[in-house]
Amino acid sequence: MSGSYGTFSTKQEEKRKRTVPDRVLIGRVFDYAQAHRRSLIIGISATVAGALTGLASPYMHAIAIDRIITPKNVAGFIWWIPLFAAIILGNYVFQYIQTYQMRVVGEKVVAKMRDDMMEKLQVISLRYFSEGETGRIISRPTNDANTVRIFLRLGLTSILVDVSSILGAFAIMFYLDLRLSLLAITVLPVAIVLVWYLGKYSRAAYRRTLITTSGLTARMQEDLAGIKVTQAYAQEKETEKKFLKSQDENVKATIRAILIGSSYTPFVIGLRLIGTMIILFYGVNAVLTGTITLGILVAFTEYQFSYFMPLVDLVTMYDQYQSAMSAIERMFDLIDTRVEVVDALPERSIALP
Amino acid sequence: MMSIAKPLLDYAKLLKRQKGLTQSFSAFKRLMKYHTRYSWFVVAIAILAVIRSILFSLEPLYTTFIIINVIGPPSNTSLLPGYLLVIILAGIGYAISNFVLTFVHGVMSQYIVRDIRTEYYRSLQGKSFSFFGSVGVGDLTSRATVDLQMVDSFLRTWLGTLLNAVLTTIIIIVIILPISPIMTLISLTTMPFIFYFTTRLWINTMPLFRNMQLILGRLSSYIQQNIIGMKTVRIFRREKDVIDGFKEVENIYVNTAINAGKIQSIYMPLGPAILTLGIALVYVYAGYTLGIPGSALAVAQVGDIILFARYMMRLTFPIRDLSQTLGTWIAAYAGLERVLEMTDAPRNVEDLPDAKDTTIEKGKLELESVTFGYVKDRPVLNNVTFTVQPGEKIAILGATGSGKSSLIYLIPRFYDIQAGTIRIDGTDIREFKLASLRRQIGVVLQDVFLFSGTIRENIAFGKPEASMDEIVQAAKAARIHDFIESLPRGYDTLVGERGITLSGGQKQRMTIARALVGNPRILIMDDSLSFVDAKTEQEIQSAIEEATKTRTTLIIAQRFSTIKTAEKILVLENGSVAEFGTHDELIAKNGVYKKVYETQFVQKAAPILEEGDGV
């Protein structure tokens, strides 16, 4: 009864390599979303539009600085303020549509998948429910469905927003000034390599917490299933000791994962600072020589901010994406299970002469 | 037809009417209490948060210095390196303090979650059998894992985020106020709106999220029950019911989630939008004063206006984080509520203050006017009185619901009686320490549960320090030794989820061996294992006979072979003792026992045995 016997099957589950390619899984989830195609198209468009209108704001500031404030051309505010307000309003409306539509699609798709799983469970062979397997089956319509639900609600939107923010920020930066843009993104390759490299450690640590969490869950489940026996033999202290040990493993693994996970940010911030330094150093001289305007310089420092954060976000999202894909694969695995015992009557009636 | 999901459906409907706000505050207070053990962490987080907020606010300030003093006019590039150095140092300081804060916060959250979970686990250890009859294992487990995960994600950031929002706002005001009090005032006009809308969002969505969380918890246990009881569902052809009920509740859930989404989508993007509009207001004012020659702003620098705008943009981050944290609190609070609901459920059986460790020498058992019920005023056992002499074996007979299991469960105090006394060797069982009492009574329960682990560990479960010899003796007495020896790894064979699968009969003999290891004076057995073949029956029978030879035994009997070897027979009827005496006495009495004996055993025993011979 020591350590981790109960975790075996869950451990296997965590480690199992996925066999179905992502695009197949995404395609099948998309099939489910077909029923809500309108919502999906509106939602995705609104997400992209929201990200882009969000990016317009620093550009609007650049315009205000260069064309209105610096030349003291107050009349410019007459067109600037309504335009700015319109962009903010647009941004708000897009975000509203995005949040709502994506929620509708996410919830309905997962609900349908869950219904299909439940329906399948009622007809598949009872062999499927053999001893020791129930925990695994239960986790599909519950834990797995939940993972996918959270991913569709937050992760997918984040990925869309991040990608459009990054691409949009690049587009605007290159449009504003090519040379400064090239300088600004010199730190980018370093950042990507670094984040990816740290991400590998972080993912490993994260997986370890998942395994210890399954261990803890299995331990808890078994202790509770056997609670009558434990009470009958007054072994509460003994089982508690084992439980606490398993819990400590989990706490330690989680703390480690937090340590590695939070070590990202200083590096990322450091790199972003270097980027800002480069922009300011060259930018100030460029402003003084008249190559760029002050507004563009200020806008650049803001854009530096607005593409770096989504980038980090995107890399950390990779874990969520992976676990959602595994969950989706397991859910389809259940949905696709072949039914062995079907109602035999119709066939038989055909066979009769 | 009544739907299987009806209780779940009723629950989901009931939830709609409940408001969660006041509970939320008391849950928060409760959560704060768990922080008291870690007050040093709280202090550290507070200090780090102050440092972090100050450093976070320096960058726009120095960028502005660059704009004003370096770019000018008049321009002065010699100042640039100094300003850049400050920016980079502040940035590094920010990064480090942020890193340490995140880590300390995370560690604190892990410790608190651990404390909550340990408390929960301990409380479950002390709950009575009836508690576990009413709540499923899966449900209880998911409360300690899934629900606590929600609490964890709140605990990981809440204090840092809250302090960050407050401190950053204060620091930014301190910086921008001297530049232009009027502009500061203008930009602050947006704050009450943001505060108002964030609060509205919270108040409107919180009950919805709480309901979602609670429905989801119930849905999960519904699924679990369905999967565990799949055989029964199939036998009674209730598949369609299961699905229909599930879909109905799922629908309630989806609609609640979408409603919450609707409210969220209205309010959530509103905060940053209002804040950005505040920037527009600043520009309006700036434009207005710029137009007046000689006014403060016309003389002031362009940099000041940029500074304002940039600080306002900086404010969106802490405000966005704060509303996200409020979102995690909703889930955390529903989760915490589910955990504490169980932790706080009363524990029924406890040690009396003057309870002692007492050794049972002989094993004389006396029940005197014992009355017991799971619910008050609805007794399951009524005024039960009988005495068992040391070493005697009593077979208990009775129809389903006659109180047989309840009766034997009273002896190790799985439940406490409402009236009367139970004495062992003349001592009231409530004067025993619970652990001392239970260790000295061997128990074979109806469901034969074995833990994942080796056979040896399972047999020695009640006495982990037992010697190999003791274990083998117990296994021999339980007639399972030969089987264990026949396994390649013998006593080190793994059983349970990862190990070999044992038959029902083997499991039962394992549990008998487990009961015998401590060499208890008293044995209580629930021998309700039916549907076994004759060979298994004989083996179990032989094991029971050996086990009960010298021990005071109460055994719930289903088979005549068991009853035959008992010294006395106790017949229960509706919670009362109908007959008590030896086989011959009761036959002579010509009462219930005789009737049962003639109809159940005499006719049935023979054919079963014959069938068995053929196997």
Contact A240/B102, CB-based, under 8 Å?
A: no
Contact A262 B103 (CB under 8 A): yes
Cross-chain CB nearest to B141 (options A74, A98, A220): A220
Lowest mean pLDDT among A11-25, A95-109, B231-245, B328-342: A11-25
Give the least confident one: A77-86, A173-182, A292-301, A340-349: A340-349
What is the four-CA torsion angle of B471, B473, B477, B478, rounded to 10 degrees?
20
User: pLDDT tens digits for A301-311?
Assistant: 888 877 777 87
Min Cα–Cα distance to chain A from B453, Å: 4
- Residue B506 structural domain: 449-519
Domain boundary among the residues B519, B536, B560 is at B519
Q: Are A288 and B77 in contact (CB under 8 A)?
A: yes
B526 phi/psi in degrees, rounded to 5: -110, 90
Helix axes of A236-289 and B80-125: crossing angle, nearest 10 degrees: 160
- Residue B117 C-alpha from the chain's centroid: 8
Of A9, A108, A276, the CB nearest to B497: A9
* Chain B residues inside the 8 Å CB shell of A232: 412, 414, 438, 441, 443, 445, 462
Percent of chain B whose predicted confidence (pLDDT) is above 90: 21
Instruction: Write out chain B residues lying below 8 Å of A226, CB-based.
Output: 449, 451
Distance in Å, alpha carbon of A314 to nearest chain B alpha carbon: 18
Q: Looking at residue B299, what is its pLDDT? A: 46
A224/B132 CB distance under 8 A? yes
**B601 and B513 fall within a common domain:** no
Using an 8 Å CB-CB cutoff, list chain B residues near A238.
464
Token code pair at residue B106: 């995370």
Q: Does position A2 have pLDDT exceeding 50, yes or no?
A: no
**Cβ of B261 and A88 within 8 Å?**
no
Indicate whether B316 belongs to any domain: yes
Last residue within a domain, chosen from B322, B344, B366: B344
Report if residue B143 sits inside a domain: yes
| Domains of chain A, start order | 20-170 (1.20.1560.10)
Q: What is the pLDDT of residues B117-170, one digit of tens each?
A: 999 999 998 888 888 877 878 788 888 888 898 899 899 989 999 999 899 888
- The set of long-range contacts for A80-89, using a CB threshold of 8 Å and a minimum separation of 24, is A80/B283, A81/B280, A81/B283, A81/B284, A84/A57, A84/A60, A84/B280, A84/B283, A85/B277, A85/B280, A87/A53, A87/A56, A87/A57, A87/A60, A88/A57, A88/B273, A88/B276, A88/B277, A88/B280, A89/B273
Query: Which of B499, B519, B539 corresponds to the end of one domain?
Result: B519
Of residues B583, B536, B521, B575, the one with CA closest to residue B394: B583
Residue of A nearest to B56 (CA): A269
CA distance A293 to A176: 10
**φ and ψ of B390, to 5 deg:** -55, 130
Q: Which two tokens stand for residue B244?
A: 């229909």
A317 pLDDT more than 80: no
Q: Which residue has the higher pLDDT, A323 or A335?
A: A335
Q: Does residue B377 or residue B404 have the better pLDDT?
A: B404
Q: What is the mean pLDDT of residues B379-405?
A: 88
Work out how many domains chain B is built from and give that number: 3
Q: Are B503 and B535 in contact (CB under 8 A)?
A: no
Residues of chain B with pLDDT > 70, as a percent, come to 91
What does the block give as tokens for B313? 């943009």
Tokens of B434: 């619970």
What is the H or E stretch that residue B265 is in? helix B239-267
What pLDDT is recorded for position A3?
Answer: 31
Q: Which residues contact B140 (CB under 8 A, 6 or more apart)?
A: A220, A224, B124, B342
d(CA B424, CA B365): 5
pLDDT value, residue B101: 93
Is the CB of B87 less than 8 angstroms away from the CB of A277? Answer: yes
Q: What is the mean pLDDT of chain B?
A: 83
Diameter of chain A measured on Cα atoms: 99
How confident is the model over B178-191, as pLDDT tens digits? 877 888 888 788 88
Note whether B382 and B497 are same-domain residues. no
Full 3-state SS string of B121-150: HHHHHCCCHHHHHHCCHHHHHHHHHHHHHH
CA distance B107 to chain A (A): 6
DSSP-based three-state secondary structure for B292 = coil
| pLDDT tens-digit readout, B13-72 | 666 555 556 677 888 999 999 999 999 999 999 999 999 999 988 888 888 888 878 876
Q: Are B504 and B568 members of one domain?
A: no
Do B579 and B569 meet the contact criterion of CB atoms below 8 Å apart? yes
The strand pairing partners of B368, in sequence order, are: B421
**B40 and B143, same domain (yes or no):** yes
How confident is residue A7, by pLDDT bands cut at 50, 70 and 90? very low
Same domain, yes or no: B532 and B459? no
- d(C-alpha B354, C-alpha B359), whole Å: 16
What confidence score (pLDDT) does residue B103 get?
A: 93
pLDDT at A20 exceeding the cut of 90: no
> pLDDT band for position A251 (50/70/90)?
very high
Edge-to-edge order in the sheet of strand B365-372: B381-388, B365-372, B419-424, B427-428
Q: Which helix (H) or strand (E) holds B234?
A: helix B230-235
Q: Does B208 lie in the same domain as B185?
A: yes
Who contacts B353 (Cβ-Cβ below 8 Å, separation ≥6)?
none
Q: List alpha helices for chain A, DSSP H.
A: 8-15, 22-33, 37-63, 77-123, 134-139, 145-150, 156-176, 178-184, 187-225, 227-232, 236-289, 294-335, 345-351
Q: Which residues of B403-423 are buried (b: 16+ CB within 10 A; e: fewer)?
A: bbbbbbbbbbbbbebeebebb
Range ranked top by mean pLDDT from A330-344, B105-119, B405-419 = B105-119
Asked whether the beta carbons of A307 and A181 are under 8 A apart, the reply is no
* B316 and B330 in a common domain: yes
B349 in a structural domain: no
Residue with tokens 């993007």: B269
C-alpha dist (Å) from residue A330 to A109, B31, B608? 16, 36, 46
Distance from CA of A287 to the nearest CA of B (A): 7
pLDDT value at position B294?
53
Residues A287, A66 contacting (CB under 8 angstroms) = no
Mean confidence (pLDDT) of chain A: 80
DSSP string, B146-183: IIHHHHHHHHTTHHHHHHHHHHHHHHHHHHHTTT-HHH
- Which pLDDT score, from 0 to 100, does residue B172 have? 86
Length of chain B: 615
Per-residue buried b or exposed e for B10-38, using 16+ beta carbons within 10 Å of the residue's own CB: eebeebeeeebeebbeebeeebeebbeeb
Q: Which residue has the tokens 């072994």?
A: A235
- Give me the pLDDT at residue A305, please: 75
The pLDDT value recorded for residue B322 is 81
**Are B81 and B15 in the same domain?**
yes
Q: What is the pLDDT of residue A273?
A: 83
In a domain, B277, yes or no: yes
Residue A349: predicted pLDDT = 43
Residue B241 backbone phi and psi in degrees, to 5: -55, -45
Å between A353 CA and nearest CA of chain B: 31
For position B243, which CATH number holds? 1.20.1560.10
pLDDT band, residue B291 (cuts 50/70/90) = low
Query: Given an 8 Å threshold on Cβ–Cβ distance, is B414 in contact with A232?
Result: yes
HSE of B226, CA atoms in CB hemisphere, 13 A: 31
Asked if the structure places residue B323 within a domain, the reply is: yes
Q: Which of A123, A142, A254 sits opposite B223 (nearest CB)?
A: A142
Q: Measure in Å the smallest separation between the Cα of A232 and chain B Cα atoms.
A: 6
Average pLDDT over residues B197-215: 80
Contact residues on chain A for B514, CB-CB shorter than 8 A: 229, 233
- Concatenate the DSSP letters of all residues of A81-109 into one string: HHHHHHHHHHHHHHHHHHHHHHHHHHHHH
Do residues B233 and A124 make contact, with C-beta atoms less than 8 angstroms apart? Answer: no
Q: B309 to chain A: which residues are within 8 Å by CB?
A: 61, 64
Query: Which domain CATH number covers B601?
Result: 3.40.50.300
Terminal Cα distance for chain A, rounded = 61
Of chain B, the end-to-end C-alpha distance in Å amounts to 44
Q: Which residues of A touch B129 (CB under 8 A)?
A: 228, 231
Q: What is the residue whose two structure tokens read 């969490």?
A: A213
Strand partners of residue B571: B397, B579
* pTM reported for the whole predicted model: 0.81
For residue A268, the tally of other CB atoms under 10 A from its CB is: 20
Contact B125 A230 (CB under 8 A): yes
In a domain, B1, yes or no: no
| Contact check, Cβ <8 Å, B435/A234 | yes
Q: How far apart are CA A145 and CA A118, in angstroms?
A: 12
pLDDT at B38: 95
| Torsional sign, CA B93, B97, B102, B106 | positive
- From the list B555, B566, B511, the residue with the least C-alpha distance to B398 is B555
Residue B209 sits in the same domain as residue B285: yes
C-alpha distances in angstroms, B10 versus B3, B143, B218, B222? 11, 21, 11, 13
Our CA-based measurement puts residue B284 at a distance from the nearest CA of chain A, in whole angstroms, of: 7
Cα–Cα distance between A254 and A247 in angstroms, integer? Answer: 10
Q: Is B469 exposed, middle or buried (0-12, 13-18, 19+ CB in 10 A)?
A: exposed
* Cα B174 versus chain centre, distance: 47
**Percent of chain A at pLDDT exceeding 70:** 88
B33 domain-assigned: yes
Contact A68 B220 (CB under 8 A): no
> Of the given ranges (A134-138, A141-145, A282-286), which has the lowest mean pLDDT?
A134-138
Give the mean model confidence (pLDDT) for residues B368-381: 86
Closest chain A residue by Cα to residue B102: A262
Does B608 map to a domain?
yes
Do B514 and B527 lie in a common domain? no
Identify the residue among A79, A144, A228, A272 best suited for mutation to test binding to B, counting B beta carbons within 10 A and taking the highest: A228
The better pLDDT of the pair A34, B216 is held by: A34
CA distance B318 to B167: 10
Pull the structure tokens for residue A207.
């997986």
- Asked whether residue B387 falls in the same domain as residue B486, the answer is no
Give the nearest partner residue to A251 out of B114, B127, B288, using CB atoms: B114
Choose among A199, A190, A348: nearest CA to A263.
A199
Checking if the pLDDT of B109 tops 60, the result is yes
Residues B54 and B142 in one domain: yes
**Residue B320 identity (one-letter amino acid):** R
B478-516 pLDDT, tens per residue?
889 999 999 989 999 988 766 677 887 888 888 889 988
pLDDT of the residue at B615: 31
